Structure 1
Amino acid sequence: MNSRWTYMLLGTAFLAWIAWLIGIYPELPDRIPIHFNAAGEADGWGKRGMIWTLPLIALFTVGLVLSVPYFNQKYVNYPVKITEENQEKQYRLMVLFLNGMAIIVFGIMWYISYVSVQMSMGRAALPMVYIWLFMGALFGWMVWYMIRARKLK
């Protein structure tokens, strides 16, 4: 996926997330779930203003992930030795990998925010199995990248 498309997708999704939170904020109770155990049960509570924490963490994390291709490449750690012959292919693969990571991380953060809102309003939350699916996608994407990078040696 082209980085420009990733930026547009994530930027639009982020603005939609913020608009949704602005619209739902007046309906939120004073206390909302802010932490969940592995079973998906709320085990930590905070003031409703805490609902803005996840979008801020997502913005920072995704921004950091997407900024890596702009670093001086001699400071970026690749899983294989970089040579003149493989430099361009490895760089493009790393950009694709980071774009995918940013999308998955954003999805995880958005889903946790969604579940938090649903639970705080007494609605049935979706099963936490989706978090495990996101985590599987995250680690699967990492494994795919490592295998692909080694093939492009």
Structure 2
Amino acid sequence: MINPPKLDIPRSAGQRWFDRVTMGVFLAVVIYGIFSWPALPEEVPMHYYVTGEIDGWGHKGFLFLLAGIGAFLWIILSFVEKHPETHNYQGLTEENAPRLYRNSIWLVNVMKNESLLFISYLTWKIIENAFGRYLGGGAWDMAVFLVVLFGSLGFFIYRSFKIK
């Protein structure tokens, strides 16, 4: 379609719930970071070897950068979520637009929240490791995140073909 229809698709209760839970987790981690700030060492773990061992350190201000990236990403994806007519579709028609828009809104919502939850987890893990409470993980953290993220993406792409 050259000019996709602009429809008012209300957010579902599930989307609002997922946003609230994710934002609650993120704010809890940010508050934890703020209260932990005075006790944090000047250098915190920033990089992990594939086995989970810490192999890179940096200034504790990195935690603000990580939280800032998460907040920025969440805001941008929230804007994208509100404008499904700008998303890319195959076989969009006036008839199937509402179904495809809802699916696309869910896709962006899930990916937005999964990404912020992962950033929240990484921020919490860095703080815990900085205090000497080694949590391990390393490559497994990223592997699990990527499987979940691409699994969600695959699910919603598959679903878009089914609901046309």
TM-score interval, smaller chain: 0.7 to 0.9
Distance in 2 between residues matched to 1:67 and 1:95, nearest whole Å? 11
What is the TM-score normalised by the length of structure 2? 0.82
Q: Does 1:133 align with 2:127?
A: no
Q: For 1:99, which of 109, 113, 117 is the aligned residue?
A: 109
Task: Decide whether the 8 Å contact of 1:58 with 1:109 is kept in 2.
Answer: yes
Give the one of 19, 22, 33 matched to 1:21.
Answer: 33
Asked if 2 retains the 8 angstrom alpha-carbon contact of 1:65 and 1:98, the reply is: yes
User: Aligned with 2:88: secondary structure?
Assistant: coil
TM-score, length basis structure 1: 0.88
Instruction: List alignment gaps of at least 5 residues for structure 2.
Output: 1-11
Residue 115 (structure 1) aligned with residue 118 (structure 2): no
Q: What is the root-mean-square deviation of aligned Cα atoms in Å?
A: 1.8
Stretch deviating more after TM superposition (130-139 or 2-11) = 2-11
Match of 1:36 in 2: 48
Name the residue aligned to 2:7: none
The answer to whether the Cα contact below 8 Å between 1:107 and 1:134 also exists between their aligned partners in 2 is no
Q: C-alpha displacement at 1:126, in angstroms? A: 3.6
Which is helix-richer, 1 or 2? 1
State how far apart, in whole Å, the 1-side matches of 2:135 and 2:119 are.
15
What amino acid is aligned across from residue 144 of structure 2 in structure 1?
A: L
Aligned mates of 2:24, 2:38 — CA distance in 1: 23
Q: Measure the CA separation in 2 of the matches of 1:102 and 1:59.
A: 10
Contact persistence 2:52–2:136 (CA under 8 A): no
How many residue pairs get aligned? The number is 151
Cα pair distance change 1:107/1:89, threshold 3 Å: same
Could you tell me how far apart the structure 2 residues matched to 1:35 and 1:152 are?
Answer: 42
Identify the range of structure 1 (139-148 vs 36-45) with the bigger mean alpha-carbon deviation: 36-45
